[in-house]
Structure formats: C-alpha cells, structure tokens
Amino acid sequence: MRWDVAPLTLPGGFRNTPRPMAEPKENVLMEKLASLCKRRGFIFQSSEIYGGIQGFWDYGPLGAELKRNVKELWWSSMTRMRDDVVGLEATIIMHPAIWRASGHVDTFSDPMCDCLLTKKRFRADQIELQSGNAYHFIGAKDTVSGKEVSEPYAVLLAAGKPPESARKTAAQFYAQRGLQSVELLGERMEKVEGSQRFNPENGSLLTPPVPFNLMFKTYVGPTATEADVAYLRPETAQAIFAQFKNVHETSRQKVPFGVAQMGKAFRNEVTPRNYTFRSREFEQMELEFFIKPDEAVEAITGSVTTVPETGHPGEPQPSWGWQAWHHYWVQERVRFYEGIGLSLDTLGFHRQTPAELAHYARACTDILFKFPFSKRDEQGNVTGDELEGIAARSDFDLSQHERSSGKSMGIFDEELRTAFGKLPPEKQTELKDRYYQARLKYLTKSGVPVAEAGAAAQEDADGLAKGQYIPHVIEPSAGVDRLILALLANAFSEVTETDAKGKSETRVVLKFHPRVAPIKVAVLPLLKNKPELAAKARAIFESLRGHMMAFHDEAGSIGRRYARQDEAGTPFCVTVDFETFEGIKDGPQAGVKDTVTIRHRDDGKQERIAASDLLPWLLARVR
C-alpha cells in the first residue's frame, strides 16, 4: 500500500501525527486545583510570558506565605524545640569531588527513551504497561524515486483497532526519513503483553533506554573547561556530611544528635509531572541524625533496645539502636504532618523491601500522601505518593567522604572507651567481630580489594575498643513543594449554596490548618462608606499585622469578601459593624460595646468577642 505523506511541523519541533492509542486521562480535581492556584496567586508557571519552562514553578503572594509558614514550622520543630538538633545552611554549588564520593556522578541517573516519531522523551521505568497488537515493518521505499529506508519500526495498537492507523503512523515515521510516496515493507503483527517499549500517547516504538544523569552541570570560573565542571546540588544532605566534623566540634553536641538543613535542590528530571510534585528545581527539608553503631550502644548499656513497630516509642533512651531511632523518626514526622492538618486517613506508608533498599541501607520507610493523581491498588484503595522518606543509612555517607577526602570522619567517645574496657574478653571479641563484619561488608561493596578491606576493617574494629567509630545516620528527607501540593489538595473543597431565588452557586473553600494558612485573619469593616467603621477596622488590622499575616479588605459586599477569604484559606474573618459602637443588641452581653464579630471559615459560625481580647484569642489558634 502506498502513502503520500506531507509531515507538518508544529511549535517545539514536534510533528502532527496520528494518535491511535488512548490520550492520557484528565484529572478533574487537579485541573481545578491548578486553576485556583493561578487565579488566587498560589503558584504560577515560571517564565509564563515566554511560553513557560517545564518543571519550574513560581510561588505567588499566597503561595509564598504558605511555603514560608511550612518551612518555619519545620525548622522550629526540628531545631528550636529540640536540644539535640542544630542547623546548617550550605552553598548550592560545592566541590565536584563531593558528588563523586556520594555516587551521584556515576549512578544518579534515570533510564531515558525517546519516541521515534515525535522525539518526546520518557522515563522508561514510569511508562505504564501496555498490551495490544504490535505491527512491525522492516523498512519502506519511495514508489516514485525508488529510495529505500531499511530502518525497522513498530506501532502498538489496542486490541481490536484496525491496522490502518498503525500503517498511517509508520508512513509518518518513514516520511520523516525522506520518503514522499511511502510503501511499507515486511509488515507482520505480534501480540504484546505488558510492554514499556511503546509511546502510550501514539503507539510509536521508543528508543532503547539509556541512563541519563540528573545533575545540572555548570562551570566555575571564566575558562569553562572540564577542570572547571561543577554541579547544582541534587540534594541538601551531602553538605551536612561534608561539614559533619566542623558542626560536631563547634556545636558541642554529642552523638546522638542531628543537623538540619533547608534549601534548593536541582534535578534535571526526564519527565517532570503531576504539577509541582516532580519538578526540576525544588526545596528540601532534610535532617541527618547521627547515632552510635549498635555495637557501641551494647558496649555502653549492656543491650540494644528494639521498639514495637506500632505507635510512638516515647522519649529517646540511651539503649536505642538504629531500629528504635528509625521508628522514632517515622513517628515524629507523622506527628508533624498531623499537626499541620494532614490526618492519618490522608497518609500512607511504604516500607521498602530488601530488593528496593540500597546495599548500605538497613531500612527505609516512605510516608505517602494520597494525591488526586495517586494510583489505586488491586483492592481499589488509593496508595499515595511519597512525601518524605526516613532512611537508616548506616555509616555509608560519612565513610564515603572519609575514603574520598582522606580526612577522618570518626569521633572519639570516652564513655565507649571506658565501658569497652570493663567488658569480659569474650564480649569484647563478639562486639569487635560484629563491627569488623559490618565494616568489611561496606568496604568490599564499595570496591575495595578483599585484602585491603580486611586490614581496614580490622583497624576499625580495634578502634571501636578504643572508643572510636564512624557515626551511623537516620535521614528524614522531605520535599517542601510536595508538601505544599499535599496541603493544597487536602484543603481543597467545594461548597454549593442555593439562594432564596433557587439559584445555585458552587464556590471553593480552602480548609487549611490555621498554623499553615497564608493569611491568618482578615479584618473587614461592614461598610466602606462609614468612616467610623473603616477607621476602627484599620486600627485593629494595624494592631494585628505585627503578630501574624493579616489582611484588610473593604471592597465589595461583606458576603463577597467572606467568599474571597474562604478561597484564600483564611481561617478567621473579623468584622467591625454597628454593634461595635452601639453595643450588642441581644443576649447576656446586651449593651456591651467595643466588640467585633469573628466568622469561622469552615462552618460559617459567628461569635462576638471584645476587641481587646482579639489578639490573644487569635494567637492561641494560629500558632
């Protein structure tokens, strides 16, 4: 069969091609949420006036406040409210040797493949499994010029679809290779089950997957040679490990203790997706909590305590090993999320299997949020997508930097040295042997020759008896932008109201927890054209704005102003009305003056309190 094809070039270098496969399903709730975020100034597409740039997002006035509130709450709970955690703020660009030591230069990659027809890029491991009939062609020739192209090609069609659409797609493919009047050669059909080799949007064959390093490369200095290569950091954690000794020595902390950091990170994602969930520029909130190895804990306390994997284990104990600390931090992070409005019903948990874990990790628990785009399991339950991972990473990170930099990352523990010396010889031998085996495993897995690894592991085991060890680490790592999206999705609700004339109107209410709400309180005069009401409202607003994010609004009807604040997620509206000056008309407080009306966002309930009591009343609810 002959096909006369005239490919049409579209903006962005893509071509107008037939789409025999089903289009991606729309997510109505996410569309509504994204529309609201733009309309109300939460999130904007970066560089929108120039057509935008994929995977980058800007936060508008309300989004900036929401994000600042979340980060401030995290920082306060992690550092200011704890005696055992200190902070760090490190640079985005660091010595490239850091990323070689951490493994990012060699292994921080995703499998990437391209559509042979549109050139659209996909992450190979995220392509949904597809089944159907694959139509293969060994090549094509031009029936006018006689030119032949021997490049194989294939198109996948859903079962039951006519082969004509596959042939049209194949004709487009060969037309791109210089054929005008296309005759397809060597057609054959094959049934395919569970394949990831085809573009889910148009059925076209994809290129074989190749690794794609996710780090953004740049140059330091004016020469831009390979000697000047540096990287934008793909995570904030490595700076904490690189500065561990400095922080430990200057903060006067003793193990166990943690170092917290918030900041920008960058990953050149193959396919940014799901709004802000997977972006190329994002912010992280990470804690590296350093603990003693279990052998040191056992030498000091006589045993290592393990805790039940359900519920909060309570206050930390000296006998805790890595398992107890790992579970403790999972529960601490759950408490944080519950404290900002994400109930357990909205969360999920995934404990990584041994096959999923990195070779150095002992455990990793992912805290999930049930986003509108999250998939369902076989029982139809929403599984959720990762908000935060809490990993027990052993001593891998500090060990890597010690080996690569040649600088010691170990510490001296006088309590351990003293306790070890009092142990029976057989117990000393047992603990040293366990520590030796752990260090030997790390070294051999890292590529150190067996003989050299054995000698180094023995030196480490002997050092344990002298009170020396490299701390292990528990790492709770959260994404700020993912959390913001979770809070927005969790808060989003629609209310339909019908007026006296029977006209229905649906409006949006964002039910943020008061602690994270961008605006804590709006102060509204009942009428704009009454000077005494306007002046009093302005004075109350000025008295509040130094203590919290307050908003003053006098434009439009009071109902419209309430609705605008509901859409912004403001938990409380304060209205100055005539009773503020004339006195309350009815009830036990009749005649009392200088009061204001407080309207609650979630249920519309209203109550009156004295204007002088307003600030402490609000502070008790928004902090």
Residues 322-332 have pLDDT tens digits of 999 999 999 99
CA-to-CA distance for 497 and 376, rounded, in angstroms?
32
128 falls within a domain: yes
In a domain, 451, yes or no: yes
Q: What is the DSSP letter of 207?
A: P
**How far, in whole angstroms, is CA 451 from its chain's centroid?**
42
Residue 148 sits at φ, ψ, to 5 deg, of -120, 145
The conformational region for residue 604 under phi > 0 = left, psi -120 to 50 = alpha, else beta, is: left
The answer as to whether 353 is a domain residue is no
Pairing, β 385-392 against β 43-45: unpaired
Instruction: Give the lowest-confidence range in 431-445, 536-550, 577-591, 600-614.
Output: 577-591
Cα 503 to Cα 597: distance, rounded to the nearest angstrom: 28
Closest CA to 65 of 510, 536, 560, 524: 510
In tens, the pLDDT along 417-456 reads 999 999 999 999 999 999 999 999 999 998 899 999 999 9
Confidence of residue 25 (pLDDT cuts 50, 70, 90): low
pLDDT band at 9 (very low <50, low <70, confident <90, very high): very low
- Which DSSP state fits 160? T
- Whether 95 has a pLDDT exceeding 50, the answer reads yes
Residue 574 is part of which domain span?
519-622
Does residue 527 form part of some domain?
yes
Token readout for 53 is: 């740039």
- 146 CB-contact burial (10 Å; exposed 0-12 / middle 13-18 / buried 19+): exposed
* Residue 9 shares a structural domain with residue 128: yes
Answer yes or no: do 462 and 598 share one domain.
Answer: no
Contact 495, 504 (CB under 8 A): no
DSSP string, 113-146: EEBTTT--EEEGGGSPPEEEEEEEE-EEEETTT-
pLDDT band at 10, cuts 50/70/90? very low
- Chosen domain end from 195, 212, 229: 212
Single pTM value for the model: 0.86
Residue 579 lies in a domain: yes
Tell me: do 193 and 152 sit in the same domain. yes
pLDDT: is 1 or 505 the higher one? 505
Looking at residue 485, what is its pLDDT? Answer: 98
Same structural domain, 543 and 581: yes
Q: Cis omega before residue 256 (within 30°)?
A: yes
Residue 179 lies in a domain: yes
CA distances from 528 to 266, 428, 562, 580 (A): 48, 81, 15, 15
Confidence of residue 18 (pLDDT cuts 50, 70, 90): very low
> Tens digits of per-residue pLDDT, 470-521?
999 999 999 999 999 999 999 999 999 888 888 899 999 999 999 999 999 9
User: The domain spanning residue 607 has which CATH number?
Assistant: 3.40.50.800
The last residue of a domain, from among 212, 243, 258? 212
Claim to verify: residue 12 and residue 40 sit in the same structural domain: no
Residues 53 and 164 in one domain: no
Q: Which two tokens stand for residue 468?
A: 């020396």
Residues 450 and 591 grouped into a single domain? no
Same domain, 12 and 121: yes
Structure token pair of residue 306: 């393990």
Determine contact, residues 532/582, Cβ cutoff 8 Å: no
- DSSP conformation class of 345: G
pLDDT of residue 12: 33
Same domain, residue pair 182 and 122:
yes
Q: How many CA atoms lie within 13 A of 609 on its CB side?
A: 14
- Are residues 6 and 54 both part of a single domain? no
Which are the contacts of 534, defined by CB distance < 8 A and separation ≥ 6? 525, 528, 554
Give the end of a domain, one of 153, 182, 212.
212
Instruction: Answer yes or no: is pLDDT of 119 > 80.
Output: yes
pLDDT, residue 24, reads 46
Alpha helices, DSSP H, located in 161-236: 164-175
Instruction: Tell me whether residue 617 is in a domain.
Output: yes
What is the tally of structural domains in the chain?
A: 4
Q: For residues 557 and 456, state if they share a domain.
A: no
Average pLDDT for the chain = 93
> Is residue 158 in a domain?
yes
pLDDT digits (tens, 9 = 90+) for 252-274: 999 999 999 999 999 999 889 89
- 130 with 11, same domain: the answer is yes
